[in-house]
Structure 1
Amino acid sequence: MSNYISAEEAISVIKSGDRVFFHGSACTPNYLIDELARQASRLEGIEMVSITQQGNVEIAKPQYKDTFFVNSLFVSSPVRDAVNSERGDFVPVFLSEIPILFRKNILPIDVALLTVSPPDKHGFCTLGTSVDVARAALDTAKIIIAMVNPLMPRTHGDGAVHISKIDKLVWREEELPTVDYGAKVGPEEMLVGKHVADLIDDKSTLQMGIGTIPDAVLKCLNNHKDLGVHTEMLSDGVIDLIKNEVVNNKYKGYHENKTITSFCFGTRRLYDFVDDNPVVVFKDVGDVNFPINIMKNKKMVAINSAIEIDLTGQVCADSIGTLQYSGIGGQMDFMRGAALSEGGKPIIAITSRTKKGVSRIVPFLKEGAGVVTTRGHIHYVVTEYGTAYLYGKNLLQRAHALISIAHPDDREMLEKAAFLRFKH
């Protein structure tokens, strides 16, 4: 353990004005972030860049506003308040192109704070559950500080890094952040999942976005055969499908016999499943989410969600009005890649209403809302009330198709809005 130093000593190399990358999802290095917060009094003008932070994320709190600026590439709950205040901001960018920002010095990284699995007998650690954009940060940062966590899975793919390439090593055993999307699936989500499953042919390749609906879809696939997985994110729902050989990756056309992902986030069962599992390959998100690579998979099915959809098919998936809620992420990468795939199906899957009873199908997007998937890219929209196919339809036809899958109590309002807009 002679190569390991304290968090205090490791973080001491960060200086005022640095741009610091924070590893994301289950790899969020909160132990190192806490130490950075403790050293705030000696620092100023620190810019944090990251995706999908989890846990406490101390520096995002209001008391650090004079020291740290949260410049988020994909917003998650621990940094949401900061991003929507003077303490932070949001960079709209496709997930597939974030590595370009680092590699082309558009957002050059001074220091990368990472969580890695312990070194093997050859001296190689891995980026564990999140290779995604961390590979590019690792490759380009001037200084690499890594927290070596023995509870971090050792993963196969693009995440290997030799211990000699890491400038500062901190040993820290701590439980990884977890989430159980499957436990949050309700009856409406299961109906959506069933309708989506009905669209999926045997020998299809799947991408699942983040949240409960993708897990609901996975719960409905037990009778399918010869499925493949090529996705930016992996959740618990795939485990039993792989174990039961529903997912065998035999007919993908690209990276056959492998489940391809860029990161995973779920329960400890998922982390144990991917640990040293050669069938699950974690790759740089610039590779996984590159639409030309996605389209190489046959019958590529992209399953993503939305905050709201207007009557013409514009999809807002990242904001609630002007409030930045999440990010562009990989939705457009996969919607386009699936559309270009032979037999592919790009799907937006939503419940017709929010938990608060607000219609997700709306006459107009909220003022200030961002369009993630344009109406030129939209194909299938699925709710618990059925499936609307919008591709090739004019605006009025789209409106009628979407109204037919809206909540019954919202249809009269939507019909009036469609009549006022289209006058026929």
Structure 2
Amino acid sequence: MALLRSITSLRQIPSLSNVLASRTYFTYNNEPTHPIPDRTPKWVSPAEAVSVVKSGDHVFIHGAAATPRALVPALAEHGKKASLKDVRIHHIHTEGAGEYNNPEYAGIFRSNSLFTGGNSRVAINEGRADFTPIFLGEIPHLFNRGIIKPDVAMISVSPADEHGFLSLGTSVDVARAAVMNSKYIIGQVNANMPRTFGHAVIHQSHFDALVEGNIPLPDHKVKDLSDVEKAIGKHIAENLVDDGATMQMGIGAIPDAVLSLLKGHKDLGIHSEMFSDGVVDLFNLGVITNRFKKLQTGRMTGSFLIGSSKLYKFVNNNPYIVMMSIDYVNDEFNIAQNPKVTAVNSCIEVDILGQVCSDSIGTRVYSGFGGQVDFLRGAAKGLDGLGKPILAMPSVTNKGESKIAITLKSGAGVVTTRAHAHYIVTEYGIAYLFGKNYRQRAHALIQIAHPDHREALEKGAFERLKCMPSAD
């Protein structure tokens, strides 16, 4: 955890210079829940709130459904009007335009994605923004150890309750650590933000400025599933998910397909860095009970969530949902304590040895490490020996290219190594790689490749391995 905020740093921001005495006695680990006596944040306009940002500052922006969309455009405008230079923006996936990434802001802002979203890919791949490869569960270390030192944190929160507590709502993830280590904290208070518990609560006295921003949250409804996605979901649901399993599921078509086919299961638990709408239906059907989980027994554990209004209504003021910091949720030992941990993640490309690319298409950055390896390792190291680390993908791209390849594309990033890969699933079946040699791995993966590519893959495997792929 970070040490006390330095006197010098605090005095650089006028609104904090008189606050030092009231904060220092209570900044052990910068814990944001205990009220600071006689301290109340100012209610200001978005423009006034972001006016504290100066050239050379490091700014943290809350991510996913909690992206503070009243503050981000105001920050961009302030950057232009004040002729700022070299402001660094740190974030995971954010929703909305991400104005700071636009070409006209080059030299004013430079964003640093710790997990990349669609609004950052072009800027990163054109060299105008940065990408940091890092496991999702380790991002809080960047703030706690002073590797990234935010001058300003811009976050979204629910309105305060009668005790003065606001909530980080849909995204505790890395935001809590950023808040704990920022010199100046701006909160966008959004009446649409669900109130969640666990590590989500933060007392209003820890804020320096509050802004009203009642903006609807991103609405990501479940899309219609393709036949390929349904087939992948069927393989996983029917063969790899046991009753009483603790599930980690991401967002997207394949997790949605798996969840839609678990209605006949019993006593599932949720310990996942994120979840979406699919868990609501399973909870209402009594499929998700969390009764066998070792951590937060009887409750659903997450760190961030994004979905539709159905999900946001479900988690609002719901003590059944425990939102924890990402370094807790994604800690391998915490994951491994739960029963039958079943981690389902997606990927972009797998070579015949089992190397997995999940964050790039060749040299082009696409997403990030996320929690994939955190949960694959947690499942593999499950204390009951019954964990299932699963990676799933369609067998071909939209252009018909095989996603199972002899070698990964030039420049592709390996997120999951050969030694980490256990179950690989396509619409054609399940390949189990753990303990298999190269020849056996190639054979197993070719069997779940698209039939149109199997002959070429077998030939390429022979050329690479100097022997025929074989199951024995």
Global fold match (TM > 0.5): yes
Looking at structure 2, the residues matched to 50 and 380 of structure 1 have their Cα atoms a distance apart, in angstroms, of 31
Helix, strand or coil: the match of 1:215?
A: helix
Whether 1:149 and 2:190 are equivalent positions in the alignment is: yes
Q: Counterpart of 1:119?
A: 160
Q: Counterpart of 1:189?
A: 229
- CA drift at 1:54: 0.8
Q: Which one of the candidate residues 4, 13, 17 is aligned to 2:56? A: 17
In the alignment, is the contact (CA less than 8 A) between 1:233 and 1:262 conserved in 2? yes
Helix, strand or coil: the match of 2:91?
A: strand
- Give 5+ residue unaligned stretches, structure 1: none
Q: Counterpart of 1:410?
A: 453
Looking at structure 1, the residues matched to 251 and 438 of structure 2 have their Cα atoms a distance apart, in angstroms, of 29
Helix, strand or coil: the match of 1:293?
A: helix
Looking at structure 1, the residues matched to 401 and 148 of structure 2 have their Cα atoms a distance apart, in angstroms, of 38
- Correspondence 1:20-419 to 2 at 5 A: 20-41=59-80, 42=82, 43-180=84-221, 182-198=222-238, 199-341=240-382, 342=384, 343-419=386-462
In the alignment, is the contact (CA less than 8 A) between 2:42 and 2:208 conserved in 1? no
Looking at structure 2, the residues matched to 333 and 238 of structure 1 have their Cα atoms a distance apart, in angstroms, of 21
- CA drift at 1:355: 2.3
Helix, strand or coil: the match of 2:223?
A: helix
Q: How many residues align?
A: 423
- Give 5+ residue unaligned stretches, structure 2: 1-39, 468-472
- CA drift at 1:2: 9.5
Helix, strand or coil: the match of 1:210?
A: coil
Looking at structure 2, the residues matched to 348 and 96 of structure 1 have their Cα atoms a distance apart, in angstroms, of 19
- Structure 1 residues 280-289 or 80-89, which shifts more? 80-89
Helix, strand or coil: the match of 1:78?
A: coil
Looking at structure 2, the residues matched to 349 and 410 of structure 1 have their Cα atoms a distance apart, in angstroms, of 18
In the alignment, is the contact (CA less than 8 A) between 2:41 and 2:210 conserved in 1? no
In the alignment, is the contact (CA less than 8 A) between 2:69 and 2:215 conserved in 1? no
Q: Indicate how the Cα distance of structure 1 residues 87 and 54 shifts in structure 2: closer, same or farther if over 3 A, else same.
A: same
Looking at structure 2, the residues matched to 354 and 220 of structure 1 have their Cα atoms a distance apart, in angstroms, of 24
In the alignment, is the contact (CA less than 8 A) between 2:302 and 2:329 conserved in 1? yes
For 1:406, give the aligned amino acid.
A
Looking at structure 1, the residues matched to 126 and 109 of structure 2 have their Cα atoms a distance apart, in angstroms, of 12
- CA drift at 1:234: 0.8
Looking at structure 2, the residues matched to 4 and 184 of structure 1 have their Cα atoms a distance apart, in angstroms, of 43
- CA drift at 1:184: 4.1
In the alignment, is the contact (CA less than 8 A) between 1:207 and 1:231 conserved in 2? yes
For 2:69, give the aligned amino acid.
N
- CA drift at 1:37: 0.9
Helix, strand or coil: the match of 1:304?
A: strand
> So what's the TM-score if we normalise by structure 1?
0.98
For 2:233, give the aligned amino acid.
G
For 2:96, give the aligned amino acid.
G
- CA drift at 1:253: 2.0
Helix, strand or coil: the match of 1:382?
A: strand
Looking at structure 2, the residues matched to 306 and 209 of structure 1 have their Cα atoms a distance apart, in angstroms, of 12
Looking at structure 2, the residues matched to 244 and 71 of structure 1 have their Cα atoms a distance apart, in angstroms, of 41
- CA drift at 1:122: 0.5
For 2:339, give the aligned amino acid.
K
- CA drift at 1:3: 4.1
Looking at structure 2, the residues matched to 111 and 2 of structure 1 have their Cα atoms a distance apart, in angstroms, of 15
For 1:363, give the aligned amino acid.
I
In the alignment, is the contact (CA less than 8 A) between 2:56 and 2:86 conserved in 1? yes
Q: Deviations over 1:261-283 (max 9, x none)?
A: 00001111111111011111110
Q: Deviations over 1:16-58 (max 9, x none)?
A: 1011001000111122110111112321110000001111111
Task: Percent identity, please.
Answer: 52
Looking at structure 1, the residues matched to 459 and 220 of structure 2 have their Cα atoms a distance apart, in angstroms, of 41
For 1:365, give the aligned amino acid.
L
Query: Which structure 1 residue ranges, 4+ long, deviate > 6 Å from structure 2?
Result: none
For 1:29, give the aligned amino acid.
P
Q: CA RMSD in A?
A: 1.1
Q: Counterpart of 2:466?
A: 423
In the alignment, is the contact (CA less than 8 A) between 2:41 and 2:209 conserved in 1? no
Helix, strand or coil: the match of 2:162?
A: coil
Looking at structure 2, the residues matched to 381 and 280 of structure 1 have their Cα atoms a distance apart, in angstroms, of 30
Q: Deviations over 1:119-159 (max 9, x none)?
A: 00100000010000001011110000110000000011101
Looking at structure 1, the residues matched to 413 and 251 of structure 2 have their Cα atoms a distance apart, in angstroms, of 18
For 2:329, give the aligned amino acid.
V
Looking at structure 1, the residues matched to 135 and 157 of structure 2 have their Cα atoms a distance apart, in angstroms, of 25
In the alignment, is the contact (CA less than 8 A) between 1:30 and 1:57 conserved in 2? no
Helix, strand or coil: the match of 1:31?
A: coil
Rg (Cα) greater in structure? 2
Looking at structure 1, the residues matched to 372 and 310 of structure 2 have their Cα atoms a distance apart, in angstroms, of 26
- CA drift at 1:252: 1.6
For 1:204, give the aligned amino acid.
A
